[in-house]
Structures are given as structure tokens and as C-alpha cells.
Structure 1
Amino acid sequence: MPGYRFVDLDVALAEIQDRGGPAQLLGIGGGEQRNHHSLGELLEMGGRFGQFPIGAVDYASVATGPATTREAVSFGLRLFTYAGGPVVVLQRAAAARYGAPNGRMEILCPAAGGAAALIAEVRELMVRRSVLRGQVLTLGGSDFEPGIGGITFQQRPELAPDDIVLPDGLLDRLHRHVAGVARHRDRLRAAGQHLKRGLLLYGPPGTGKTHTVRYLLGALPELTVVLLSGPSIQFVTDAARMARALQPALVVLEDCDLVAENRDFGSGGQPLLFEVLEALDGLSDDADVAFLLTTNRVEVLEPALAQRPGRVDLAVEVPLPDQRARRLLLLRYARQLTLSPTVIDEVATRIEGMTASFIKELVRRAVLIAAEADRDTTDGDLTTATDEMLDEAHGITRSLLGGADAFDEQ
């Protein structure tokens, strides 16, 4: 089994063992040699030659969330009763240097069909009790964050609706399309409607697409979420497989235009694009899985990705903020400052065509100007920061932060 499934195996076996009456958990001695032998060989050689005596159980501390761990059995014997008879299970973690790249269990059971029944129940419990269920995950692994077997656990964001400044009704549409389908899955199935769905968020850089995704992750704690961006998009097939097992689930592909450009623009298309399409098509219609894609360049998206039901059912533009949105964004980022409504309105008018990222930097710049003068931020600091940010000398900065006309005069 993959490395990230081993802790689920530990959870499943512990649950079955605990409910089966009297049980024991034993370790096996014998040093490194034990890693080269099967359960049958260990028992035979231990009984005949005393080479593998009873010893301490080996454990490994395994992440089960962003801030939680579990002491999982990495090498040990579980002795318990199952289906009315005795069972011995050897549970061992992956040991690549001994030729065992994956964790596994080995079973001895005298009852006919007992081992097969145990395996089937373990598999079912590994899905139902999975430590990945309800988590926010990224694939690819990290040396600095908690994770297991190439999967990293992320803290689920906590954003209030007031933290999101979007056109009226847009957030409700997204929430209904992701969560509403999950909530009413039985009615939809009864009516012969598919559950899998695709959403596309598009708009200029810096308008708040990622921020909107973060809100949805926090607002839908019942969903298992797999985040893919940059190089990790190569794991889209694995993400779809995990989402299907852990549904209801959401797979997020950020900046999907990097792999899903229209094939007419290049020669031969991108192999990764085909993986994305296959992942979307490979899910059955009744899979409670949503794909959420974001892009800055909707005009170059592959039509096969964007124009087929079941791939993308809802496309929503996250536009440049209008006057009302710019004012709300200024108030949001400056909520800890004392600024007059008049100046807020004036600046909101002056920065027409700018993005949320630009506005966030604008307020930060005003605070920095005041900090250098060793005083609180004033209306004048916000005005000065606006002058600087809008100055032609900062055209490059405006383009990077989302200015609409940074190169118009070049």
C-alpha cells in the first residue's frame, strides 16, 4: 500500500483488534534479519531455532493532521479473535532498504475465508476511518510541514464572508455549486442527475481567486480537499483517486492554464493536459467530487476542458474591483487604522482599474511611510502612498500587482 495509507491500516487493525475480546500486541526481536523474512518464516525459525524471540513492539510517530500525530505500529504482531477464531497479523511499515517500499500486513488464520473477510473489512475501515478524511492536503510532500507518504497536511483557512469582496451573489453561487450538490446528493441521484462537477474561477491576477478558494475551504469543513498548484499538478490522477475514495471531496487546480492551454497554440499539446482531462472524465457521475480550477487566462484554455459538461459546469469571473469593491477593500485592509471616509473615497476613485493585491500593498505602503516617521498612519500617508503607487516610475510594480494599464504608454 502507498506510504500515506499505512497509518489508516494501523487505525483499522487497532479498531478490529479492540472489539474482538482478549488481544495481545507483541514485538519480534532478531535485529535487521527479521526484515528479510515473511510471517511464516519468522514463526518457524523463531520456534525452531529461537532466532526471532518475542521483543518490544516497534512504533513510528506519524502525522495525522496539521498538529496531530499517532504512534503507529511499524513492526509488531497483533493476536486477536476474528470471526470466532484466532488470528495473527504481522503489521510492518515500509522499509525501502530491505526491499519493501510499501507498508503491509500478513495474516495467519485457520478458519476458511477468515483472512479474506478480514482483509475486506480492513480495506473498508481504512477508507471510512482514514486520517485524510476531512483534511486539506497537498501532494508532493514537504520536509518542513507535517505529512505522510508524500502528502502534506495544511491548516484549514478560517475566513468570514465579510473577508471576501466580490460582486453580489457570486459567493452564494459558488457555495451552492460545491456544497449544495453534496447536501442534496440523494435527491439529485433520485432524479438521475450527476454529482461530479467542475467549477472555473477566472480573472486577472490579483483579483482574489485564491482568496475565494481559501474562503470555500474554511466554509466547507466536511469536504476532503486536495490542493494542486505548480509542479504538484502532475499528481492530478492520484488526487482524483483519493477524492473518489474520500468523498465528498474537492480537488483544487490553481493556475490550470499552465497545463491546459488550447492545443492550437502549440505543437502536439501537453501530456499533463491529458492527465487532467482523464482525471475529470474518470470519475463516475455519482461521485461526490468537485474540481475547482483557477486561471488568469481563460481565453487560452483548452476548449475540451472548458466546454464540456462534467468537466466545467460553472464558470465564474472574478473581475477587477469596481468603485464599491475598492472602497470595501481599502476599509478591510485599513480596519486597524484611523482614516477619514473622505480620503478613502478619494483614493478608491483614483485607483480605478487596480486589483485587490494592489490595494493591499497600497495600505501597507501607507503604514510603512508612517512607521519611518515614527507616528501613527494618517490620511496624508495614504495619499502619499497612492501618489507613489500611481507614479509612472512604478509601472513595473503596478503590472506585478495587477495594474490594468502599466504598459499602455510603452
Structure 2
Amino acid sequence: MDERTAQFVETFRAFLNEVVAEHRGAPPDDESALLPPVREHLGVDPRRVPVVSEDVPAYRFVDLDIALGEIERRGDRHDLVGIGGGEQRRHHSLSEILENAGRFGQFPLGPVDYTSVATGPDDTREVVAFGLRLFRFGGAPVAVLQRAADPRYGSAAARMEVLAAAPGTAAALIDAVHAQMLASSVLRRQVLTLGGSDFEPGVGGITFHRRPALTPDDIILPAGVLDRLHRHVAGVARHRDRLRAAGQHLKRGLLLYGPPGTGKTHTVRYLLGALPELTVILLAGPSIQYVSEAARMARALQPALVVLEDCDLVAEDRGHHPGAQPLLFEVLEALDGLADDADVAFLLTTNRVDVLEPALAQRPGRVDLAVEVPLPDQAARRLLLARYARGLPFSSAALDDAAARADGVTASFVKELVRRCVLIAAEDDRDPADDDLAQALREMLGEAQNVTRSLLGSLQVTS
């Protein structure tokens, strides 16, 4: 029996049970399940209490679980009960569940449903996926149905449904939950990417990433470039109070541009590892469409950094009208929509600054620092060779010669050059030597390697 057929059978069975119970005119099992403990806790018939619902994005569900758990522990008494009734529970609101439990006994007490949710690159937490929390808030009894998102059945968001007889208690609890979610969010100081949903438009989930462990020695850039980037991202965050006192804005936009393979992504990875106090949201490829949601997350979790890689791709015409750049302008709108005192940085990378420049010129002030990551000069190529050939038995003279001959190549080219010479030696079952480095360079600089050089981002070179 497939899932759709099973769902139909379950729905039809519930319908028949309702018909039979209605005909008999009495609730089965002396309402032996859900209503008595909820009525006892609230002190009133829960079917006469309005339900206040609040949706939460699916990727914040673990924050909701943590927040509710923390708030209920502050009370003098709390309990957690499960609700039976199979998949039908997911198609009914809390008020409908209570009504049917009272009239037909359709939703008896049952086990609490749990699910495992990631809280970091290596950590998970078991959270309540469907369960009724009974506790006191502000001295008043409340009941909160906590349910996870279920996109298969049209529930793209998680939800809490609050029962509270005392006026104003439900709204106050929801405000307290949101404040606690922000204070104890597992997303804070993490490196995240946003993903889509197979069932609904919008963000469907997040993926946590480990912070790269790179040192300044791993970054080969022109003198002063790394310091400027670090100051613009971390320096603003570090001196935010002084800047605010001086009436200066905190939000900022940075642009890293240069040919492919010169080290823009590598530089971004260094910044991620060097700034552990920042929440980082990475957007690349299709995920750039979630930039508005990323901006909202960054504002809530500030200090934060939003990284948009290869923005030239979203700057290209996405429609049939010349000059249409809707996604890029959405990026710029997201940056513009932040308050001046939001400690949020947007870092854009591009291989084609000529594509981005017209759009940025139409929105001046959104990007206030543009840094070129150029092709490495001879001194930089020598440093790159030393870095990638670390531990290999090449002479200093061989490295000097390779650096001098490889004019116009990228960092990616140098990395592949070292790998290629190790492979040449490995095929003869020996360690690489200076001759292997020279041979690999001749091969990669040869006319037959034009396509390879292009793929590695290098310009024309001479052998």
C-alpha cells in the first residue's frame, strides 16, 4: 500500500468512527484520554478557550524547542503529553483535536513524537516534533502544542498553538518565546548555507559548516589587502559602540573582484575562520535567491556576515528584456533595507566586475569597499609555489625558475602545477624532483594546454 492510499484509508477510517460515535450519541472510553489532564491543568474546559497560533520557519524549529523548554522550566510545574490519532493529527488544529477528542475520542493520549535536528556541523538535538506542553507562565496555566513542519502535507512552517484562559497570557508567552529564541539560537556564531524545499517555495532548511582553519600565511595577496578586508568586516564590529556614538553607520558592503582562480573564495574562507564571533550565511548559485531571508537572519543574529559568491551570475539578464537584473537588485535591496546601525556586512565576489559595475552605479553607497584580487606577480607566484610544494624536495632555484616562467597564471594554476609534477613522479614510483616540476610546467604552458589554462583561470603565458 503506497503512502497516498494509506492516507486515504486512515482518513476514511476516522470518518467512519465519527459517524458511529455520532450515531451512538456518547463519547467512547469515557473521554479517557486528552481532555481530563488538559482540563485539570487549565482549570477550565479547554474547548472553550481560544487557541492562539504562531508559525515559525522550519529552520528555526530547534530554537523554538529550546526556548519553550527553557521557559517551562522556570515555572513550578510542567508536563509533556503526547496525542494519538495517527497522521490525522497533522491535519487538525489544536482546537479541532480537543473537540474531536471530547466528542468522539478520536485523539487519545499517546506517545510524544520526537525528531533529531542538527544544531551544528557535528551536533544534533532531539526535539519535540508533536507534543503538548503543560506548564505555568506568569503564574497562569498554559498549554502549548508544539509541532514540526511537515511539507508533505502542506505545513511548510513549524507551529506553536497556545491555550491560556487568562487574558493576554498567550500573546505575552509568544513574545517571550521569540525573545528566548533569539537569545539562545543555535544559529548564532555558526557558518550556514540556506537550502530550498522539495515541496514549497522559499527556504526549506539550513546546513551547518565547520569554520576553515587558515592562517594569514595561507593567503597570498598584495600587501595590505587582507588588513583592509579584516578591518572593514571585523573592525566595524569591534568598534561598533564608538561608531554609533559618532553617528556612523555599521552596515557595509564589500566587493572582491578579479579573474577566476586568483583566490577570492580562498580569501573568504580565511575570513570565516578568522572571525568566529560572526554569524556567517553563505549564498552561492541557486541559494542567492534567498538573500532577503538571509538579510533578516543576519539582522536578528548580528554581528553577521552574508557572503554572496559569483554575483556576476545573478547580474546577467534573467528575463527577455535587455538590462533586466531582478535578482541582483534584490541583493542590493536587501542591503539597502538594513538599518544603518545593523552590524551586518555583505561580501560579494565576482569574476566579472564589468557586469556588476552598472548595477552598483545605479545604487551608490551599497558597496563601500571594492578590493581587487589580481593575478599573482612573480613574487606572489614564488610564495604560492613554496606553499603548495611544502614538504616536497624541490630546490630553491627550481622554484625561482618556475615562478619566473609562469607569467600570467593564477593561484589555481600553481596548485595544479605542483599536483601534476607529483603525479609524474608517482608514475615512476619515486619522489618528485626539479626535473618533474620543469616538465609539468612545460606541459601546462604548451599550446595543447590552452583549454586547461583557461579552465584554471590563467591568461596567455609564454614558455
The TM-score with structure 1 as length reference comes to 0.93
Matches within 5 A, 1:4-403: 4-141=59-196, 149-260=204-315, 267-305=322-360, 308=363, 310-403=365-458
Cα separation, partners in 2 of 1:386 and 1:268, compared to 1, 3 Å: closer
- Counterpart contact for 2:305–2:344, Cα < 8 Å: yes
Q: Deviations over 1:56-103 (max 9, x none)?
A: 110011111222111110110111111011111111112344443321
| Mapped contact 2:196–2:287 kept (Cα < 8 A) | no
CA spacing shift, 1:88–1:358, aligned 2, 3 Å: same
Q: Hey, what's the Cα distance between the residues in 2 that align with 1:192 and 1:201? A: 27
State the distance in 2 between where 1:364 and 1:231 align: 31
Cα RMSD of the aligned pairs, angstroms, is 2.1
The alpha-carbon distance between structure 1 residues 185 and 307, as it changes in their structure 2 partners (threshold 3 A), is farther
Q: Report the residue type matching 1:247 in the other structure.
A: Q
How many residues in Structure 1 have an aligned counterpart in Structure 2?
Answer: 401
Q: Distance in 2 between matches of 1:276 and 1:367?
A: 43
Counterpart-to-counterpart distance in 1, 2:109 and 2:89: 12
CA distance in 1, matches of 2:196, 2:93: 30
Paired AA for residue 120 in structure 1: D
Cα 1:99–1:332 shift into 2, 3 Å: closer
Cα distance in 1 for residues equivalent to 2:106 and 2:288: 48
User: In the TM superposition, what whole-angstrom CA distance separates every residue of 1:313-370 from its partner, at most 9, and x where no partner exists?
Assistant: 1111111111211111001000020111111111111111111011001000110000
**Matched-pair contact (CA < 8 Å) for 2:317–2:323:** no
Counterpart AA for 2:112 = V
SS in 2 for 1:27: strand
**1:141 offset after TM fit, Å?**
4.7
The whole-number CA distance in structure 2 between the counterparts of 1:44 and 1:299 is: 63
- CA gap 1:402/1:142 in 2 versus in 1, 3 angstroms: farther
SS in 1 for 2:119: strand
Q: Which runs of 5+ in 2 are unaligned?
A: 1-55
Q: Distance in 1 between matches of 2:455 and 2:156?
A: 44
**Residue 254 of structure 1: how far off its partner (Å):** 1.0
Cα pair 2:332 2:363 within 8 Å, conserved: no
Matched residue type, 1:335? R
Residues in 2 aligned to 1:309 and 1:195: alpha-carbon distance in whole angstroms: 16
Find the aligned partners of 1:261 and 1:94 in 2 and give their Cα distance: 35
TM-score by length of 2: 0.82
Larger radius of gyration: 2
Deviation at 1:229, TM superposition (A): 1.4
Please give the alpha-carbon distance, in whole angstroms, between the structure 1 residues aligned to 2:221 and 2:329: 32
Q: Deviation at 1:169?
A: 1.3
Counterpart code for 1:301: L
Distance in 1, matches of 2:135 and 2:316, equals 56
Q: Secondary structure at the match of 2:80?
A: strand
Compare 161-170 and 206-215 and name the one that shifted more. Answer: 161-170
**Runs of 5+ unmatched residues, structure 1:** none
Whole-angstrom distance in 1 between the partners of 2:192 and 2:98: 40
Conserved? CA contact 1:260–1:305, under 8 Å: no
| Per-residue CA distance 1:389-409 (angstroms, 9 max, x = gap) | 111221111122122216x9x
Q: CA deviation at 1:32?
A: 2.4
Contact 1:250 1:291 in 2 (8 A): yes
Letter in 2 for 1:258: L
Distance in 1 of aligned mates of 2:410 and 2:89? 61
User: Following the alignment from structure 1 to structure 2, what is the Cα–Cα distance between the partners of residues 305 and 212?
Assistant: 22
Counterpart secondary structure, 2:390: coil
| Range that drifts further, 269-278 or 365-374 | 269-278
Structure 1's consecutive aligned runs of 4 or more residues displaced over 4 angstroms after TM superposition are: 306-309
Compute the displacement of 1:307 (Å). 7.2
Contact 2:378-2:404 at 8 Å conserved across structures: yes
Is 1:196–1:310's contact at 8 Å kept on the other side of the alignment?
no
